[in-house]
Each structure stands twice: as structure tokens, then as C-alpha cells.
A and B are shown apart, each in its own frame.
Chain A
């Protein structure tokens, strides 16, 4: 396979050498994805990677104008391919799970607080209960329903942002901002109460 500069990649992919350039790029992306995903995908690795590469090349041809030339073209293209692969793998992994499935028990009712891992030390346990009540109150009164749902899906349910975003009819960037605002809100509320997140964390340290 010929070595290309960034300019050569761009002109070949746009010009008369497009078929050959696509073939070469496909080989580069496939090699990278096979190596990176071999620990993640147990069956039909090659078939799945071929699909990712095909989708990635379409995306790359579509987005080529946004390449700023600040890195190697192949680094940028591999970044696009990894994003395509993870978007699809996450979609598959989470396809049968709704946001409601991820809410803690008694979802919707933010009042009863139960510690899942009771501390043997009564004083510590009492402090934990107080802190839990405070956090519960913060979630209930300082966050919007949407912030609360997103926060619990991500923090409690472990769902990736883009999957939460899809279910909440938004996008990954907007969801990040929603959660950033929620974190700032919680931080400010703690400050008002004369607490730092570290102090709350210390109450929940194990042991």
C-alpha cells in the first residue's frame, strides 16, 4: 500500500483515485479495529469489523471537509471508525434496556432512604443516614426531573451518555451539559450547607 501525506489522502479520496484510496483506508482501519476490539468482541470479529469499516468510510467521506489537518489523516479517520464501532456496540449492548429499568427501586418516590451496605459502626451509620437524606433532598428539590433521570441512568445504571441521550430525545453534547449543570447545582448546594463533596465522601468510605 502506498504511503500518503494528508493532502494526498484528501485528494485521492476526492478524485480519480478514490476507489484505490478507499480500499487502502479500509485496510488501515480494519487492522486497527481488529487489534483494538479483539478483547471486546468474542464472535464474528472480522465480519463485525468489516461492517464498522464500511460505515466508517461513508462517515469519513461525508465529514472529510471537517478534517482540520492538525493530526495525521489516518489518526483522524481511525477516531471516526472507533466512534462508529462504539456507537453500534453500545446500541446493541443496551438495546433491550429502558431508562426505567435503571432507576433504583421505588423510582419516582424519592423519600424512603435505605442504606444498601449498613456500617457496623452505629455512629457512622447515623452519619451516613443523615448524608443520604441530604443528598436525597438535593436530588428532589435542586435538580429537575430530567437532570435527576439522566444522573441516575448514568451514575446508578451505568448507561453510556449517548444511549441515555437517545432515550431522552436529545444528543450526547446536550446531555453532558444537562449533567454538568446538575453537578454544578449540587456543588453549590453543598457549599451553601457548608460542606464539600470530600466531606460527604469521607462519610461513605468503606471500613
Chain B
């Protein structure tokens, strides 16, 4: 198998950020509306909900949904 350096780097970065306990995508999704409202109200969501923050840093699919949800909610506030 041909492994590219880029794949190795991605793999090692994900191994590096691995924790014994991590939120699953489902648990992150359950908490996401609360996390995002903290963000929108200017509170420190990362500190209040570190496991959600870590999951979003690690999981590209959840992060993408989070970023677009943030945009959608901005439209609702306007």
C-alpha cells in the first residue's frame, strides 16, 4: 500500500489528540445546540463544554455541521 506523507501526518495528528474518553458524534450532536448558544451569547463555550470542543476539533463532519449551523443561526438573529 502506498501511504502518502500527508495521510501519515493526518493519522498521527489524530492519534496525538486521542483521549481515553471522547464524545461520540451522537453525544456531540445532542449537546451542540447548547454549545452553540453559549458561543452566540459570547460565553466561553470551549471552557464550559471541553468535550464538545475537542470532538469538533477532531471530527470534520461534526465541525462542518457546527459551522453551518452557526451561519444559519446568525441569519435567524438578523
| New A-B contacts (12) at CB < 8 Å, excluding given A34-B75, A72-B37, A115-B5 | A32-B76, A40-B68, A76-B33, A86-B68, A113-B3, A128-B5, A136-B3, A151-B11, A162-B61, A173-B26, A196-B16, A197-B15
The chain B residue sitting closest to A156, CB to CB, is: B7
Chain B residues with CB below 8 A from A113, complex form: 1-3
CB pair A201–B26 under 8 Å, yes or no, is no
Residues 52-91 of A at the B interface (beta carbon under 8 Å): 70-72, 74-76, 78-79, 81-83, 85-86, 90
CB pair B15–A82 under 8 Å, yes or no, is no
What CA separation (Å) do A59 and B15 show in the bound complex?
A: 35
CB pair A201–B25 under 8 Å, yes or no, is no
CB pair A79–B7 under 8 Å, yes or no, is no
The chain B residue sitting closest to A205, CB to CB, is: B9
Chain B facing A: main interface SS: helix
Interface size on B, residues (CB 8 A): 41
Taking the complex as formed, is A116 at the interface, i.e. its CB lies under 8 A from any CB of chain B?
yes
Measured CB to CB, the closest approach of chain A to B43, in angstroms, equals 13
Question: Which of A35, A196, A201 lies in contact with B71, CB distance below 8 A?
Answer: A35
Taking the complex as formed, is B73 at the interface, i.e. its CB lies under 8 A from any CB of chain A?
yes
Chain A facing B: main interface SS: helix
Chain B residues with CB below 8 A from A135, complex form: 3, 8, 11
Taking the complex as formed, is A184 at the interface, i.e. its CB lies under 8 A from any CB of chain B?
yes
Taking the complex as formed, is A10 at the interface, i.e. its CB lies under 8 A from any CB of chain B?
no
CB pair A155–B11 under 8 Å, yes or no, is yes
Interface size classification for chain A: 35 or more
Chain A residues with CB below 8 A from B64, complex form: 86
CB pair A180–B76 under 8 Å, yes or no, is no
What CA separation (Å) do A106 and B12 show in the bound complex?
A: 22
Report the 6 A-B pairs with minimum CB-CB distance, sorted nearest first: A32-B72, A35-B75, A197-B16, A36-B71, A71-B33, A36-B72
Measured CB to CB, the closest approach of chain A to B69, in angstroms, equals 5
